[in-house]
Amino acid sequence: MIKMKEKTKRFIYIAIIAVALIGFFFIAKNLSPDYFKNLGLSLPLPIFTFIIAIIDGFNPCTMWVLTFLLVLLISVSNSRKRIFAVGYTFVAVVFIIYFLFMAAWLNVFLFIGYFDIIRYIIAFVALGAGIINCKEMFWFRKGVTLMIQEQHKPLVVRKIESMKDIIRKGSMPALIVSSVVLAAFASFVELPCTAGWPLIYTNILAQKGFENTLGYYTYLLFYNMIYIIPLSTIIAIFGYTFKGKTITKDQMKIIKFIGGFIMILLGIILLVNPELLILV
């Protein structure tokens, strides 16, 4: 009986979401950019960048690795200095790898130029990734998923656990090197979890037509600085309170759903009315 109620509730939620997306589809398809221009409404690129980057920054995969690492660190050491050293080294490496990953996509789009076929591909990638992420709310880790693969999770955990002795007895340089290795490994394992947003954003950024490459890379730097704000905040909370817990399954579900839903909305705009993004 309980299972039946859960299935009914799930069906109702999915139906509501589907109706909302269908409504958005027709609105986006028929809405003219001139409507917003006449109202004097636009979304400046810096604000658009901030919004997308902060959404992307709430990445449950990276948060899971970071919080697991910090919880382990707190359990074996009460050194605030070590917590900050490990945490912010981890974030710095994530920043560098993510920036390089986005720069690679940006250069691909700048090289090949703007074609409708590319827009369609990006739109369908956004829609597919968004649907998969929204699916996690109702069928967590079942079927196709963009979260850290189950076969990789034990390996990540073992790498974190192997840092125990270094955290407890190792020198600061050894601790930092171990954090760099872990962050690099985790970043590559997590790429499927977070690849959608860099693809969408760099494709939009490539169409802005800056006079030189400095403009593009300035926005990439800005994006990545915003991207690490949630991770940096977590480290500060752990460091100053010496308390914390790993990100929960329910929190992951909510984060994935919100990000996935917004990704679907952008995918619909790219598919049916990309001119709306000219306002950005």
Domain parsing of the chain, residue ranges: 31-279
Residue 125's pLDDT band, with cuts at 50, 70 and 90, is confident
20 Ramachandran zone, left/alpha/beta (phi>0; psi -120 to 50): alpha
Instruction: Give the tens place of pLDDT for each residue, 155-185.
Output: 666 767 776 667 666 677 777 787 788 788 7
Higher pLDDT, 19 or 252: 19
| Residue 223, pLDDT score | 95
Q: Of 66, 61, 67, 74, nearest to 164 (Cα)? A: 74
Distance CA 62, CA 158 (A): 16
Two tokens, residue 257: 């759903």
pTM (two decimals): 0.76
What's the residue count for the chain? 280
